Amino acid sequence: MVNGACAACKHQRKRCRPNCLLAKYFPQEKMEDFLNVQRIFGVNNVKQILLSVNNEDDRNITAQTLVMEAQFRRDNPVYGSIAMKNQLEAENEALRRELKLVQKHLKFWRKVAEEHIQMKLIEAQLDKCPLSLSAPDFDGDVGEGSNSQ
């Protein structure tokens, strides 16, 4: 146990006993957390909630969850944790749309890179071919032969 009264006992102005249920979860340093939890749930309800959990690890998680829920309620009294859930869902959806757009861009640029590589391969093959293109040799008498009399 921590020296001195825990936040719960200190708030209630009573002596913190060695078997105090709340001492482990709300030491003196966490007075603000305890006050938030106490305002939302009440001390007796917090004790009942913690006692309803059998596993000690689960009790720690439960206490942390109570603190988080109380903080959400303090920050947003109407919606509480639902406001945070909605905000996170909106951010998640925006990130999914952004990811989809980035994937489309990536697909486009991969295709461009592939076409560029293909074009370079074709150019390399053409450079190796002994192909000579020369202009046809005209002798300047074009068109005179058909009208001759």
> How deeply is 34 buried, as exposed, middle or buried, from its count of CB atoms within 10 A (0-12, 13-18, 19+)?
buried
Distance separating alpha carbons of residues 94 and 97, to the nearest angstrom: 5
- Give the tokens for residue 124: 């390399």
The pLDDT of residue 111 = 97
Q: C-alpha distances in angstroms, 109 versus 85, 113, 118?
A: 36, 6, 14
Q: Answer yes or no: are the C-beta atoms of 59 and 53 closer than 8 Å.
A: yes
Residue 113, Cα to own-chain centre: how many angstroms? 30
Q: What is the pLDDT of residue 2?
A: 44
Residue with tokens 């913190």: 16
2 neighbors 26 (Cβ within 8 angstroms): no
pLDDT by position in tens, the chain (length 149): 446 789 999 998 889 999 999 999 999 999 999 999 999 999 999 999 999 999 989 999 999 999 999 999 999 999 999 999 999 999 999 999 999 999 999 999 999 999 999 999 998 888 887 766 666 666 655 555 555 44
Q: Is the dihedral of CA 10, 15, 16, 21 positive or negative?
A: negative
pTM exceeding 0.75: no
**Whole-number Å distance between alpha carbons of 108 and 140:** 51
> Do the Cβ atoms of 1 and 16 come closer than 8 Å?
yes
Say if residues 7 and 27 touch (Cβ distance below 8 Å): yes
Instruction: Write down the pLDDT at residue 1.
Output: 40
Can you give the pLDDT at residue 139? 65
Return the pLDDT at 53: 94
